Amino acid sequence: MPTSLCGTWDMISNVNFDGYMSALGISTYLRKIALRLKLKKVIERQGDQYIIKTLSTFRNYAISFKIGQEFEEFTKGLDNRHIKSTVTWQGNKQKCEQIGEKKNRGWAHWVEGDKLHLELYCDGEVCKQVFKKNVNE
Ligand code: YOG
């Protein structure tokens, strides 16, 4: 049983976010804004439904899904694409495959100690974000 991803997590590092956003075709203007953000992840589970919220002072984004069940994702306020997403467990990693216009798109979450790790993939670019557990929220 993998350590729970659930909780509130504050970003402490963010490597190659710019490369990931460039691969998604995000404008220079929006990339500059996004690069300054300290993202927060709120991960909840209600029965077999997961909810992942990405929060910032600029925009918020949320998805909800069941493990192994493909769902329609619209990346509203991000790159605004319609994709078909499926989240599965592979060992201790929760992995999402995002099928659409962009090749090799997806993400993986896992926990190590009190840190939440996230890799974001698009078209050969890998962004690595690490979050620290926020015990006050
Ligand atoms: O998370 O897929 O946890 O959905 C990555 C933004 C910036 C807008 C955030 C707003 C991609 C301008 C979602 C940032 C860049 C830049 C706060 C990452 C696109 C546009 C919402 C993600 C998964 C896994 C769950």
Q: What is the pLDDT along the chain (137 residues), one digit of tens a residue?
A: 446 999 999 999 999 999 999 999 999 999 999 999 999 999 999 999 999 999 999 999 999 999 999 999 999 999 999 999 999 999 999 999 999 999 999 999 999 999 999 999 999 999 999 999 998 88
- 24, 120, 122: residue to mutate for ligand 1 pocket, most atoms within 8 A of CB: 120
Q: State ipTM.
A: 0.98
HEC readout, the chain: CCCCCCEEEEEEEEECHHHHHHHCCCCHHHHHHHHCCCCEEEEEEECCEEEEEEECCCCCEEEEEECCCCEEEECCCCCCCEEEEEEEEECCEEEEEEECCCCCCEEEEEEECCEEEEEEEECCEEEEEEEEECCCC
Q: Which CATH class is domain 7-132?
A: mainly beta
- 78, 87, 98: residue to mutate for ligand 1 pocket, most atoms within 8 A of CB: 78
CA of 109 to the centre of ligand 1 (A): 14
Locate the ligand 1 atom nearest the alpha carbon of residue 54 and give its number: 21
The model's pTM? 0.96
Domain spans of the chain?
7-132
